[in-house]
């Protein structure tokens, strides 16, 4: 019944996740017996198979701390100076309590908006974190007026500061004892976070965190993206000094002499650090990077939600086919595969993992969350955050053009778009729910772990089929209005 993957993926078609469907297998264990623990790369273990994309609307400090706390990891983007990237990495590692602040920050020169968010505005030298604390403004009696921060600022003498690595219990005890509304967390003389009572309550309401991803330094593991230019060797020094635990060479077409030379350079300079290469979609591209010494491969070209590479450049591959093909060669060399892009529901995650990937890398799925960079705005009555392709003109103007090898070209060609994603709340809440759904998918397939799923697929025990257009419609919501309680979570 159905087809073995080896047969289905050798018929000359390029399949996306939605094109294929697994046939159910036999269940002889409960959902909670499914383990999703996995490898990001040769030497890094994760307790959940989730990686946040190196994109400037996805992975900065708060995303990196939250993903590590969940047992996954984030790769901090490089669409900024190397000093800024290093500061984001250090900041992420300093967020021992992995939550994004809900209070606002400003610099002394700023003007307080007429409708500030929340009661307090914290004033730091740079207007953001991490930075030196200058004071704070209590907006209680100032609402409705546009006033200069400097004129209404209270100094920090009365502010309760504690070291960055205090745990939740200690912080709660301090708030209680001092009858304070907030506590400032500091590291090396700089504020790394400000927590208010409601933040702590919110955190306690989220699913309990399991084993987080912690490096040999005892802090959150954080990845760093880099390019392959000569100047990236200097960036490399900065991010390694900041404590980056793994490096990702960020190219849309990774099978290049530039990337191969960079892999060799990094492996020679920092033999203790894992290097992730890509992106690739074919077996021969993968083979080249494996030979050069990569510790994991990132797979996907044009499958991302904001990508236009396939339309602009006529190059790429359906993501289900790409993940299956690359994984089959990578597995022979013990190199884990990261299925990058095209994930929009838990079913896509199940498909990517069962087809051979060890982790999924996600952009849009994590964008729009509390931890994603940027502020919420309102669009057509909906609370949204910006999400943009790193190959969009807007992002490339900021510097990400080298991912698309636009370095020597005078004309920039966009390979991505700018969009917005609805407010999803915290990743600390929706990622654990998603993982529970993925476990149910594994249970339906009779696989209690990733290695077991990979074995069942390769041996031909797990069977697949291609879905016709009508089968895809049938498999989605139909015959009922979306939003009437029938929508999947
Ligand atoms: P999702 O589907 O998770 O995809 O939003 C995220 C992945 O998409 C890639 N990416 C791009 N690809 N043009 C592209 O062709 C772009 O502008 C672009 N920006 C990101 C990247 O691999 C990311 O992880």
24-76: pLDDT as tens digits: 999 999 999 999 999 999 999 999 999 999 999 999 999 999 999 999 999 99
Least confident stretch, 115-119, 194-198, 433-437: 115-119
Answer yes or no: is the C-beta of 421 below 6 A from any ligand 1 atom. Answer: no
Q: Which long-range contacts (CB under 8 A, 24 or more apart) does 329-334 make?
A: 329/283, 329/286, 329/287, 329/290, 330/286, 330/290, 330/297, 330/356, 331/356, 331/454, 331/458, 333/290, 334/42
Query: In angstroms, rounded to a whole number, what is the distance separating the alpha carbons of residues 262 and 227?
Result: 9
When pLDDT is averaged across residues 316-323 and rounded to a whole number, the result is 96
Ligand 1 centroid, distance to 215 Cα (angstroms): 27
Identify the band that residue 142 occupies on the pLDDT scale cut at 50, 70 and 90: confident
Mean pLDDT of the chain: 91
Residue 388 annotated as binding site? yes
Find out whether 87 and 190 touch, Cβ atoms under 8 Å. no
Answer yes or no: is the C-beta of 364 below 6 A from any ligand 1 atom. Answer: yes
**Complex confidence, ipTM:** 0.98
What is the pTM assigned to this prediction? Answer: 0.94
* Residue owning the nearest CA to atom 8 of ligand 1: 304
Q: Give 124-139 pLDDT, tens digit per residue.
A: 999 989 999 999 888 8
Q: Give 362-397 pLDDT, tens digit per residue.
A: 999 999 999 999 989 998 889 999 999 998 888 888
pLDDT value at residue 480: 55
Answer yes or no: is the C-beta of 304 below 6 A from any ligand 1 atom. Answer: yes
The answer, yes or no, to whether residue 115 has pLDDT greater than 80, is no
Answer yes or no: is the C-beta of 225 below 6 A from any ligand 1 atom. Answer: no
Ligand 1 centroid, distance to 298 Cα (angstroms): 12
Ligand 1 centroid, distance to 59 Cα (angstroms): 13
Q: Give 258-267 pLDDT, tens digit per residue.
A: 999 999 999 9
Ligand 1 centroid, distance to 291 Cα (angstroms): 26
Give whole-number Cα distances, 194 to 60, 105, 181, 428, in Å: 17, 10, 10, 18
Q: Could you confirm whether 403 is annotated as catalytic?
A: yes
User: Token pair 């927590």 is at which residue?
Assistant: 195
Ligand 1 centroid, distance to 198 Cα (angstroms): 35
* Residue owning the nearest CA to atom 9 of ligand 1: 304
pLDDT value at residue 487: 41
Residue of 279, 219, 273 lying closest to 246 (CA atoms): 273
Find out whether 92 and 52 touch, Cβ atoms under 8 Å. no
Q: Could you confirm whether 298 is annotated as catalytic?
A: no
pLDDT value at residue 410: 63
- Nearest atom (ligand 1) to Cα of 53: 24
Answer yes or no: is the C-beta of 343 below 6 A from any ligand 1 atom. Answer: yes
The answer, yes or no, to whether residue 409 has pLDDT greater than 80, is no
* More reliable by pLDDT, 374 or 115: 374
Catalytic residue among 50, 139, 307, 463: 307
* More reliable by pLDDT, 169 or 482: 169
Residue 341 annotated as binding site? yes
């Amino acid at each position: 019944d159905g087809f073995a993957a080896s047969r289905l993926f050798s018929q000359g078609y390029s399949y996306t996740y939605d094109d294929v469907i697994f046939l159910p297998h036999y269940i002889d264990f409960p959902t909670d017996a499914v383990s999703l623990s996995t490898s990001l790369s040769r030497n890094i273990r994760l307790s959940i198979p989730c990686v946040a994309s190196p994109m400037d609307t996805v992975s900065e400090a708060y995303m990196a701390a939250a993903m590590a706390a969940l047992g996954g990891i984030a790769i901090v983007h490089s669409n900024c100076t190397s000093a800024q990237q290093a500061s984001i990495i250090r900041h992420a590692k300093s967020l021992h309590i992995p939550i994004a602040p809900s209070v606002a920050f400003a610099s002394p020169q700023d003007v307080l908006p007429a409708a500030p968010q929340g009661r307090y505005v914290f004033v730091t030298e740079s207007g953001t974190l991490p930075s030196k604390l200058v004071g704070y403004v209590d907006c209680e009696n100032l609402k409705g007026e546009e006033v200069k921060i400097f004129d209404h600022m209270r100094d920090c003498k009365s502010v309760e500061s504690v070291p960055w690595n205090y745990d939740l219990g200690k912080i709660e005890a301090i708030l209680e004892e001092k009858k304070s509304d907030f506590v400032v967390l500091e590291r090396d003389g700089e504020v790394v976070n400000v927590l208010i009572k409601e933040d702590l309550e919110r955190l306690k309401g989220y699913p309990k965190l399991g084993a987080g991803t912690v490096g040999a330094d005892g802090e959150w593991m954080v990845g760093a993206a880099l390019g392959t230019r000569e100047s990236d060797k200097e960036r490399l020094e900065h991010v390694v000094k900041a404590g980056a635990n793994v490096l990702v060479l960020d190219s849309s077409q990774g099978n290049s002499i530039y990337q191969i030379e960079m892999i060799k350079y990094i492996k020679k300079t920092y033999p203790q650090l894992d290097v992730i290469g890509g992106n690739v979609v074919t077996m021969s591209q993968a083979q080249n990077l494996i030979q050069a010494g990569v510790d994991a491969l990132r797979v996907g070209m044009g499958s991302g939600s904001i990508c236009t590479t396939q339309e602009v450049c006529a190059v790429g591959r359906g993501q289900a086919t790409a993940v299956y093909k690359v994984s089959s060669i990578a597995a022979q060399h013990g190199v884990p595969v990261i299925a990058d892009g095209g994930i929009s529901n838990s079913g896509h995650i199940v498909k990517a993992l069962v087809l051979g990937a060890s982790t999924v890398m996600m952009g849009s799925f994590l964008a729009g969350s509390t931890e994603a960079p940027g502020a919420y705005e309102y669009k057509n009555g909906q609370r949204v955050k910006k999400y943009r392709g790193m190959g969009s003109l807007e992002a490339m103007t900021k510097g990400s053009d080298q991912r698309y090898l636009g370095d020597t070209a005078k004309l920039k060609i966009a390979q991505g778009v700018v969009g917005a994603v609805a407010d999803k709340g915290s990743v600390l809440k929706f990622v654990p729910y998603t993982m529970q759904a993925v476990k149910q998918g594994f249970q339906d397939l009779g696989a209690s772990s990733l290695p077991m799923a990979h074995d069942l697929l390769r041996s031909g025990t797990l069977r697949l089929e291609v879905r016709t257009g009508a089968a895809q419609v049938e498999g989605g919501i139909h015959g009922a209005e979306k939003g009437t309680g029938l929508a999947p979570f």
